[in-house]
Chain A
Amino acid sequence: LAHAEASAFSTRGFALKVVAKEAHSIASMRGIRTIALARTPRRLTALSPSASAMRGAASAARIALARAPTRPAALSSSRRAASSDADRHRSTIFDRRNVEFLLWEQPAFAAQAGDRETLSAMLDAAEDLVESHASADAVADAHEPTWDPETNIVSIPAETRAFLDAQREGGFTLLGADIEDGGLGLSLTASTAVNSIISCGFTSGLGGFYALTHCAANLIKAHGTTEQKDTYVRPLVEGRFGGTMALSEAQSGSSLSNLKAKARHVSGDEYRLSGSKMWTSGFDHDCFENIVHLVLAKIDGDDTPPGNRGISLFIVPKVLPDGSPNDVALNGLNHKMGQRALPNSYWSMEEGCVGYLVGDAKHAGLMQMFTMMNDMRVAVGLHAACCGVRGFQESLAYAKERIQGSALGSKTQVPIIEHADVRRQLLAQKALSEGALHLCFFAASLVDDSKTNEEAATLLEVLIPVVKAWPSEFALEANKWAIQVLGGYGYTRDYPVERLYRDNRLNMIHEGTNGIQALDLLGRKAVMKDGAATRALATAMMRDVHMNADILPDLAADLGEAVERYGATTALLGKELSQNPARALANAHEYLNMVGHTVVAWLWLREAAAAQKALPSATGADVPFYEGKIATARYFFRHELVKTKAQADLLASLETSALDVRPGHF
């Protein structure tokens, strides 16, 4: 059908070029009886090479001679497309209004968001960064880094370098850092808000360079010796040095105890390291003055405990303090499905490789790493959520412009957003991606609050696995629908939605696979301290159930039931855990998703309540905005939260398909 349209368009284009003077003679030559602007393609069938195709197409008269849909702004230079209906100023990349709604209209975040004027100016700066490097992702994705072993150069596109420079010069690397290290001293809530704009604009891994750097800086700041801190923290915070996390090895991913990298003591905190690492992002490129690898290895010696407890953390700089190159060797680049802007490699620590034991503290590797876990898991969840948000924005813009098909009983072709199934796909994306985004903001605010508030700290424990895993699975689902909305075009590389899916897909895997998160949630966090965290979460959710029973009775009632299911299921599984852990944990993944759905429903209830209260005094574009929030919350409850009933039943049945089936049965 698309082919037929294209030919019709080009034929029309030809016909339009036939200008008056020559038209007559040419017309008689070619037997053209009519000139373009015809609405029914029948008149052009004499010219069209694919006439038969068009005739064959169902009801030729219904083929709209529509232009190819305009490309979403993301592929051309910076542009914010305002929509044609009575709608607010929209971008196809992020939703600023929604970010502001979360920050200042959700009571949970306003305190941690800080000074509104300043944060708004920072959000503006983030928007500018996104707009001025709009093509960087697409370019990086089309030009995956390559490694030339002869010159040992890893190719990095100019657009990537320009973006990294802009991030550094704009001060974006300072977002998460303390003032005393030259940072901005912002709360995680505020940083997350700024990063949410950036993560929507750059899904292909561009943000990864400095996300890892931020991690490295925080780790060394939290655990390093004074000398290590003096040498590395400030350059990492300022973005002059890059950081990497070199934990995994070819044979050791989820299972860290299989680690083979070794460290031999030299003197003080200096060691000689040997071994190979796998899946290291950002290893070896020349975008930074130095790259600081944080490497897990086991110290050679009799007093090293076996397994995980024998793991230590080392600083392995690419360039040693005396300026000479460290003995590390890049062995190859991994060819990833997505996030191609960020090189991912396997490399080895050669004979002369020097590493500095972090904090000069032996066997403390995992404990030190865990300091960063919360921040990293929120960051992964945020990346996933923003991939979803971006896909939604792109497909929404497309659905408003793309003319195809008419309403039942009508002959006028309409934009596809008028069709119920397309609206369902858009609703699904909005519900899942905005829910995921809210979840990340919520987790960030808990990280901030947990420093002074006991309840926040407890809630954070049980929510960290959810904030990492739920967006990675369900914002990915949103990406699936984004492709669907664009139809055939969505399946091509000319539109960004397929890339967003590919970029998002890693999030179920890295930073602890979702399977691990599920085991962590059910096996540990849900039941620790006699279920204290579960009780705290249930209590927090029920508070909103009661508070909103009047203004949103149906949603409040449904959530109330879901919270009861959550409590009952957790209690049942907790009991089974002490008797038959394998059986209790067999469907942990379903438990994780059930908890995630319940929590996101709770957050949607909060959004709907805020929207409901704001509606009476809302004006202009705010009216459809708030109505949309309430409609989407309802969708989430009716289409998604209902699934938790089946999940609860499944989990309560303690069914054991996954345990009973044998490898041979496959």
Chain B
Amino acid sequence: MSSSGAAGAGSTDSTAARRNTKRPKYSKFTQQELPACKPILTPRAVISAFLLVSVVFVPVGVASLLASRKVVEIVYRYDSKCIPKNVTNKVAYIQSSADKACSITLNVTKHMKSPVYIYYQLDNFYQNHRRYVKSRSDEQLRKRGEENETSTCKPEDMVNGRAIVPCGLIAWSLFNDTYSFSVNKRNLTVNKKGISWKSDRNHKFGKDVFPKNFQNSSIIGGAHLNESIPLREQEDLIVWMRTAALPTFRKLYGKIEEDLKEGELVNVTLNNNYNTYSFNGKKKLVLSTTTWLGGKNDFLGIAYLTVGGLCFFLALAFTIVYFVKPRQLGDPSYLSWNRNPGGH
């Protein structure tokens, strides 16, 4: 009964008076005859697709590779060098209050145009660990009145019953190695303004939020913060708080806004404070210029070249195959419905 009613229900609508037949109305849509383009993989289409990819990819690859090659990059690993030779327990050394100043020299192999970006690179450091990523309080960082919003920050939430600003593991473990650079005894100024994202400064870190009770607990993690400077201006913290995606990462330390000439020796005086020794993390200092593509990484260029080349090769292979073994179309054997289905 339900069905007969359903059929009847359709005719009760307003059009029923005019249309007393159940004939389905013609429209291209309901008859599934909409105009459509039906691309199929003809040999020509396949070959031209491959060729197109290679034509686009090879130049892009070359350009990327050239850009990457143009970048001058100095990488210096200092975590082992800056430990005195006689120290056996590196962790104990780094945790001690001894003076950990260290001096290294970087050799500028190629002319570096300003701005030269200074990065520190950490290795084997899981800033993307879930516990670590979640251990922050955005509300607290943003607004002064919300400084007690520390529930997500455990165990770095309170000290002696008072809220820590900025709370959480990320802030607590703030990187605290410092570098100063000189060329020929002349100090190079390191510009630390504008190394963080503007949106972070403007929307995520309050200009009236000042550090409080920071690094006052029993275990000191990383850097201390100047309690008289609002968080918005603590760009090192802002950079650090933007967690890295992968366990090997660089973070911007500052910019040197003058050219470094080829052959110059840059003396770096650094304070090796940060404990990467517990987890066998490497520490590197990186000076790098940039191009339109960013820093030095050949991977993209090589990948583009490889894919472009592969597609060219495939286009070639398909062309040869089509010429060598052209299939007769309309061959009845392909159309026979008795044919055993091939493949899958």
Q: Do A and B come from one complex?
A: no
Binding site for B on A (CB under 8 A): none
